[in-house]
Amino acid sequence: MLPTAFQENDGLEMIFEQQTQTSRTYKIDFEKKRIIGYVDEREAVKQFIIKALNTERYEYLIYSWDYGTEMARLFGKPIPYIYSELKGLITEALTQDDRIESVDAFSFSHYKNKVHVQMTVHTIFGPIEAEREVTVA
């Protein structure tokens, strides 16, 4: 937001104009672990989802405390508890971004010490299917 000021008869009044920033960002090749070019809009949101779901909150000083998930605290907990907590943790992590409206259609499965979750992320660019696997033991 950029403030603009003007003088009225009874004093100074501030008016704020809100400008939406572009979602253009560097494109990450997650398989080769390198940056190649740029992405925008839907692809940038997909990339944000992957990064946010795979970044542990509070672990890296470069990120604000609103960024990432708190998956580490689920380690060693019972599977039913993990299922219920994952919904909240994922929704909280992803809805920090203004481009994401909601997260729903959660689907869970587990095998040995891993829980797999799939979900639909509703964005301003349309729905995006996402998934994450969490080691719990």
The CATH number of the domain holding residue 29 is: 3.10.450.40
DSSP 59: S
**17 domain-assigned:** no
Query: Taking 70 as the threshold, does the pLDDT of residue 1 lie above it?
Result: no
Q: Looking at residue 21, what is its pLDDT?
A: 62
**3 domain-assigned:** no
Q: Looking at residue 3, what is its pLDDT?
A: 54
pLDDT digits (tens, 9 = 90+) for 50-96: 999 999 998 888 988 889 999 888 888 998 899 989 999 999 999 99
At residue 24, the 3 state secondary structure works out as coil
Q: Which domain holds residue 42?
A: 24-135
**18 domain-assigned:** no
- Which of the four pLDDT bands, split at 50, 70 and 90, describes residue 124? very high
**30 domain-assigned:** yes
At residue 12, the 3 state secondary structure works out as strand
Query: Which pair of structure tokens corresponds to residue 97?
Result: 């971004």
Q: Looking at residue 104, what is its pLDDT?
A: 93
Considering its fold, how many domains does the chain have in total? 1
Partners of 12 in beta bridges: 7
**63 domain-assigned:** yes
- Which of the four pLDDT bands, split at 50, 70 and 90, describes residue 136? confident
**101 domain-assigned:** yes
What is the 3-class SS of 103-123, one letter each residue?
A: EEEEEEEEECCEEEEEEEEEE
Average pLDDT over residues 97-125: 93
